[in-house]
Structure 1
Amino acid sequence: MGIRDPHIVDFSSNINPAGIPDSAVSALRRGLGRAAEYPDAGSLDLVSALARYTGLGRANILAGNGAAEIIYNFCSTLVPGRRVLVPVPTFAEYEAASRLAGCRVSFFKTMNLADDLDRFVSRIPKDGCVFVCNPNNPTGSMISKKQMSRIVAAASARSCMVFADECFIELTQNPEESVISMVKRRENLLVLRSLTKSFGLAGVRVGYAAASKETVRILRNVKIPWSISCMAQEAGIAAVKDRRHLQRSRKIIRTESEFLRNKMSQIPGIQCSPSSANFVLVRTRQDSARLQKKLLRRGVLVRDCGNFRGLGSNYIRVAVRTRRENLLLLRALEAVA
């Protein structure tokens, strides 16, 4: 919505409630001293830091200007014109990027892919691509590593790519369910990550993909040079060195997510979906756009989910924030729900 009012508490963006690591803030300040320089076009130091962080080789890592750059380059370069399967509701950029690349997009309606896995696997297109957001935005549902591995194997048998978006997985209580290590042996798998979500660097724009050496090579050849600023590279390098920040973040999210869901569920007309992520999908008896406006007048911005394919006009999504901020949301909801 373009809201930048300091008096508005933003629950519409799923940013780490612990904020940016202090080390990344210091790195951003250092990066200002290089503002007159061109950044390293290949982001080599950042790629090396990400390789160490993930336990992969540098040839398996592609850095990007946020996750969106990678999504669009992937679709235009690796799957143009192909058949694409997208579970819905989910992040809208998969559909947008696929259509821009001339793909034939089909949808699979599910609120929890784990419950519908057999049907989903049967729909995997030959010589195409499937997108899986894990945990899923906006539902917060999550599939296990074993279940994702089954999708990757079934897709491989049909010469189909799997785009696994794990931008929120590091903020879940089960980050070990990631399939990022599988890219070394599965040519048809790409795993997307974002420092925007994990380390709170939304305004800095740093994302990365992990994939086979050949997939990374192809994507590097089409990547816009100098797309990651000096400051973003410095902040990214500093952030991934601070694993304790993620541990602190998961602790906050575990406590506050449980608190928020329990309290919201006690409000008449509010129904919370189970969530593994740092956000909660909420079904309301009111029209979501109307409810969003009512809450905004009380200083709280939530995500109206009416434009998510596969959801109706009675869903909002709220990010898990600090206890003080979550109490503001609860008071506002109690007043208008």
Structure 2
Amino acid sequence: MRPIPHGGNPAEARRRYGLGDRPLIDFSTCLNPFGPSAAVLDAAQAGLERVGEFPEPGCPRLTERIAEFHGVPIDHVVVGAGTSELISLIAQSLREVLALHAYENGDPAMAVSHMVEPTYGEYRRASALNELRVEAWGNHILTWSQDVFPNPAAGVFWTGHPDNPTGRAWERATLLPLIDASLGLLTVVDESYLPFLADEPERTLVQAVTSRENLLVLRSLSPIAAIPGLRIGYAVASPDMVVRLKQYQDPWTITQVAESAALAAVDDLDARQRVVDLLSKETPRLTDRLWNIAGLRPAWPDRERPVNAPSIANFLLVSLSETAWTAPQVHEALAHQGFLVRECSDFRGLEVGALLTGPDKLIATQGHLRIAVRTAPENDRLIAAFADVLSSEPPR
């Protein structure tokens, strides 16, 4: 199976479009636009002094600090080299368990990996590599209700909270009853982008794990602390599930530098609040400005301009319609103006020509782009570039 494309690769964009060393403002990755804090950088530097030692397996210091931060027992936490490693470990750990369960019940179809697409591609990839049959539904991204939930008999259900690339977050009061009604199903809730939401405390499911065997919550420090190069994520799950994940995990996957920086990032609440304050202003402002550009529309309920934006992540999914430009063409044109956005045709359901489904609606599109929300000056420059590109004729 081919690797899943991701954002955050300006070097590849420069090669593809012949940009040389041209600077690019990266809107393709959904990271804290302020970058790593001074405290995190200082801690990473201090970690370099210990690179002559083997990392302690299991990262006990970081595991303990994460457990304290969330108020959960330490045996509910496992640290990994980013959520991507943990997603792979989850699929590996379920492979034999679900196959055996399906065999014992005489129903091979029970060993299923469920997801609503478009979504983060690593869920499908990890499932396929571990021979879990994928069952996916289309995501009605023009509505904010999420009424699709799989058969509760067995398997795993993956969902972002908020989801990538749609940016939609669940209501806790909606999701928990569905989980509780599906005891034979492991629900994996990926909260990698939830710390960017001002109402995170009311939405997180981390504490709910301690009373549920069938819930696992993923978290990543890469987006909120802007340290994707250090690869730090963690899972909060039942003690039995944590043990199973550790059985499949290689030793020493977390470096001394990464652990040191992560310890500082967990405690750096001021840096978190700074970006949350920024996004509470910039996300609705950027959304509103995008509605003024002909041919470009945020993927929004009923395609009507919102008065108050619902709680979404630090990125926006936009569709191209009623324009001759396709998403790949806009992606290239913006790159030549110094901006890198995430072109989404490799997401299932967001291909050029795909139909967006909504209440009594089918809307043809020219593709989709995902745009990170950055600082006000950077956002204004991107809006101007979008307006310039879409007011001209596309290349032939």
Matched residue, 1:160:
185
Q: Which residue of 2 aligns with 1:279?
A: 315
In structure 2, distance between residues paired with 1:184 and 1:292: 44
User: Equivalent residue of 1:208, what SS?
Assistant: strand
Match of 1:55 among 42, 67, 71: 71
Match in the other structure for 1:151: 178
Cα distance in 2 for partners of 1:72, 1:125 equals 22
Per-residue deviation, 1:116: 3.7
Determine if contact 2:89/2:248 at 8 Å carries over to the other structure.
yes
CA deviation after TM superposition for structure 1 residue 16, in Å = 1.2
From 186, 189, 192, give the equivalent of 2:215.
189
Q: Is the 8 A contact 1:111 1:139 kept in 2?
A: no
Matches within 5 A, 1:1-20: 2-4=9-11, 7-20=23-36
2:256 maps to which residue? 230
User: Are 2:226 and 1:200 aligned?
Assistant: yes
Unaligned runs of 5+ in 1: none
Identify if the C-alpha distance between structure 1 residues 39 and 6 changes in structure 2 by more than 3 Å, giving closer, same or farther: farther
Deviations 1:251-281 (A, max 9, x none): 1111111221111110111101356100000
Query: Which of residues 98, 104, 108 in structure 1 aligns to 2:133?
Result: 104
Amino acid at match of 1:95: R
The answer to whether the Cα contact below 8 Å between 2:117 and 2:138 also exists between their aligned partners in 1 is yes
Question: What is aligned with 1:304?
Answer: 343
Q: Distance in 1 between matches of 2:181 and 2:259?
A: 36
In structure 2, what is the equivalent of residue 318 of structure 1? 371
Query: Take 2:187 and 2:181, find their aligned partners in 1: how far apart are those partners?
Result: 10
Displacement of 1:178: 0.7
Aligned residue runs from structure 1 range 44-193, under 5 A:
44-80=60-96, 81=99, 82-112=111-141, 114-117=144-147, 120-121=148-149, 123-156=150-183, 159-176=184-201, 177-193=203-219
Q: Distance in 2 between matches of 1:114 and 1:255?
A: 21
Q: Return the offset for 1:125.
A: 4.7
Q: What is the alpha-carbon distance in structure 1 between the residues aligned to residue 226 and residue 140 of structure 2?
A: 27
Question: SS at 1:309's partner residue?
Answer: coil
> Could you tell me whether the CA contact under 8 Å between 1:51 and 1:61 is conserved in 2?
yes
Q: Which of 363, 383, 391 lines up with 1:330 in the alignment? A: 383
Shift of 1:20: 1.4
Kindly report the root-mean-square deviation, in angstroms, between the aligned alpha carbons of the 2 structures: 1.5
Q: 1:243 to 1:124 in 2, by over 3 A?
A: farther
Distance in structure 1 (CA, Å) of the matches to 2:181 and 2:30: 31
AA paired with 1:109?
A: G
| Partner residue, 1:25 | 41
* Contact in 2 for aligned 1:79/1:128 (Cα 8 Å): no
- Greater C-alpha Rg: 2
> Structure 1 residues 78-87 or 214-223, which shifts more?
78-87
Shift of 1:330: 1.0
Instruction: Give the corresponding residue for 1:255.
Output: 281
| Count of matched residue pairs | 332
1:95 Cα deviation from its structure 2 partner: 0.4
Provide the rounded CA distance (Å) in 2 between the counterparts of 1:111 and 1:194.
Answer: 26
Q: Which amino acid aligns with 1:136?
A: D
SS of 2:319's partner is: strand
**Counterpart code for 1:263:** R
CA distance in 2, matches of 1:10, 1:182: 35
- Is the contact between residue 22 and residue 338 of structure 2 (CA under 8 Å) also seen in structure 1? no
| Residues 5-49 of structure 1: CA deviation (Å, up to 9, x unaligned) | 561011000011232122111101101111222111110111011
Deviations 1:120-157 (A, max 9, x none): 23x3352111111111111111111111102211221x
**Residue identity in the other structure for 1:175:** E
1:243 corresponding residue in structure 2: 269
Q: Identical aligned pairs, as a percentage?
A: 31
- Which region of structure 1 is more displaced relative to structure 2, 274-283 or 205-214? 274-283
Contact 1:114–1:147 (CA under 8 A) maintained in structure 2: no
TM-score (norm 2): 0.81
Q: Secondary structure at the match of 1:38?
A: coil
Q: What SS is found at the alignment partner of 1:182? A: helix
Query: Aligned to 1:130, what secondary structure does the other structure show?
Result: strand
Partner SS state of residue 310, structure 1:
coil
Hey, what's the Cα distance between the residues in 2 that align with 1:180 and 1:6? 42
Secondary structure of the 1:20 match is coil
Runs of 4+ in 1 over 6 A off after TM superposition: none
On the 8 A contact 1:17/1:253 being kept in 2, the answer is no
1:157-215 Cα shifts (integer Å, max 9, x gaps): xx110010010111112202011101111001100000001211111110000001110
Could you tell me whether the CA contact under 8 Å between 2:114 and 2:158 is conserved in 1?
yes
